[in-house]
Structure 1
Amino acid sequence: MKAQIVRLLQHHQQLFYAFIVVDILIVLLHLLLGNSNVFFHLDFEQNLPTFYQSFKLIGFGALFVLLGMSKQVKLEIKSFILPLGLFLAFLGIDELFQVHENIYRIFEIFDWLHPSRIVEASMRLGYRSSLWILYYLPFIFLFVFWCGYWLRYFQSKMKGNFGIIGLSSLCFFAVLLAEILSSTGSYSDGIYFWLITLEETAEMLLGSTLILVGCKTLQRYFR
């Protein structure tokens, strides 16, 4: 098993290309068949895109957490790889069980964070998009801070990872922007379809690039 994991890490570039090919195939199936078959539609749940993305993220998230706890990995890198693994696993679980779309139900028991209060306050500020983004703001800010810190770190010490983290950050903001725009209800069905396509494509690319940077970082410790 260890030999297979080492081989997987050492061939991280080929793994990334394989993920990109599958990502593109998923998007093409959505474009060609999505409107006639929800099993391929990126905006529906419990279908091919959901299962593919979820298991990809959960699988590598768990692997990174497991490897990150190894004594072979130095402490400084543990502080990168363990949060990365947890983040990937969380994204995968969120995708599989639609946690973000139902997160408001948890806050219905808190009067000061009740969805009705949050919606009312956000509308006064001119925000009329997805409610889950507001509840996820602490995690979004944490991810932005995390990316900023490691961008600086990799720029000076591991330049190969710098561009990958930078691309991941762009994908993350593309996901948020497309989600905010698509959930306003202000666009035609055609534009909404392309916004969803952009959002989900960026989300898949985000997962693939984060897996690449995780494998690339760990491969020097497992040979």
Structure 2
Amino acid sequence: MKNLLIKLLHHNTRILQILLFFDLVILALHLTFGSTTPFFHLDFEQNLSTFYQSSKLIGFGMIFFLLGLSRQVKLEMKSFILPLALGLIFLGVDEWFQIHENIYRVFELFEWLRPSKVVEASMSMGYHSSLWILYYIPLFLIFAVWSGYWLRYFQSKLKTNVWVIIFSGLCFLTVLLMEILSSTGSYSGATYYWLVTVEELAEMLLASMLVFIGSKILSK
């Protein structure tokens, strides 16, 4: 089974092409039918786009996790692929259950991190967007440091795919920027629609790029 999965990941470029194709199909359905049919709208939950993104993240996350436990994978490789696998699975579960949108409920239990205090402090500094981004800042920093370390470590294996690294970084920044802008409540319905569209597209593309990078490393 594991050998079969490794052989599958050797076709990492084809996997990326297939994922990008479906990313664009989901986008096209949103642009064509999303305004009248919630099932295709990228900003609605537990619909086609949510199922697709969650399945992609959790599916490849589980494949990477299974391979990461294999004795055939060196210890140094395990320390890369297992965190990546768990990260993809977490993002997939978060996507389906919208954990980030409700994370503030957990912090109600901590006096100094209660939403009311965080909102008050952030608004005093001029921040008027999504609360969950503030709570996720530590995770963003960990991801940035972890990504920087391993991309440098694997640069010889990815040197022919520098565009993937650059594009992934741009997608990550785009997701954050679009989320901040779209949640301010300062834009018209039409502008909000396009902000959300760009955000969700960048999110899908980022997931596909992470899958490609993981597949590329494991296939070496």
- TM-score between the two structures when normalised by the length of structure 1: 0.94
Distance in 2 (alpha carbons) for counterparts of 1:177 and 1:42: 17
Superimposed CA distance per residue, residues 85-125 of structure 1 (whole angstroms, 9 cap, x where no aligned partner): 11111100000000000000111121111100000000001
Contact 1:161–1:213 at 8 Å: present in 2 too? no
For 1:196, the aligned partner's letter is V
Distance in 1 (alpha carbons) for counterparts of 2:2 and 2:131: 43
Alpha-carbon deviation of 1:161? 5.1
Alignment of 1:23-62 (within 5 A): 23-62=23-62
Specify the alignment match of 2:93 in structure 1: 93
Distance in 2 (alpha carbons) for counterparts of 1:63 and 1:212: 13
Distance in 1 (alpha carbons) for counterparts of 2:161 and 2:75: 18
Contact 2:5–2:63 at 8 Å: present in 1 too? no
Specify the alignment match of 1:152 in structure 2: 152
For 1:13, the aligned partner's letter is T
Alignment of 1:184-223 (within 5 A): 184-220=184-220
For 1:174, the aligned partner's letter is T
Distance in 1 (alpha carbons) for counterparts of 2:218 and 2:156: 18
Distance 1:219 1:156, change over 3 A: closer
Alpha-carbon deviation of 1:8? 1.5
Superimposed CA distance per residue, residues 34-60 of structure 1 (whole angstroms, 9 cap, x where no aligned partner): 010000000000100000000110111
Report SS of the residue matched to 1:70: coil
Alpha-carbon deviation of 1:156? 4.4
Distance 1:163 1:73, change over 3 A: farther
Alignment of 1:23-172 (within 5 A): 23-156=23-156, 158-160=158-160, 162-172=162-172
Report SS of the residue matched to 1:126: coil
For 1:64, the aligned partner's letter is F
Distance 1:157 1:211, change over 3 A: closer
Moved more, 42-51 or 4-13: 4-13
Work out the percentage of aligned pairs sharing the same amino acid.
61
Say whether residues 1:12 and 2:12 are aligned partners: yes
Distance 1:19 1:158, change over 3 A: closer
Specify the alignment match of 2:178 in structure 1: 178
Moved more, 68-77 or 108-117: 68-77
For 1:11, the aligned partner's letter is H
Aligned pair count?
Answer: 220
Question: What is the Cα-based RMSD across aligned positions, in Å?
Answer: 1.4
For 1:131, the aligned partner's letter is L
For 2:58, the aligned partner's letter is I
Alpha-carbon deviation of 1:66? 1.3
Unaligned stretches of 5+ in structure 1? none
Report SS of the residue matched to 1:127: coil
Distance 1:166 1:82, change over 3 A: farther
Unaligned stretches of 5+ in structure 2? none
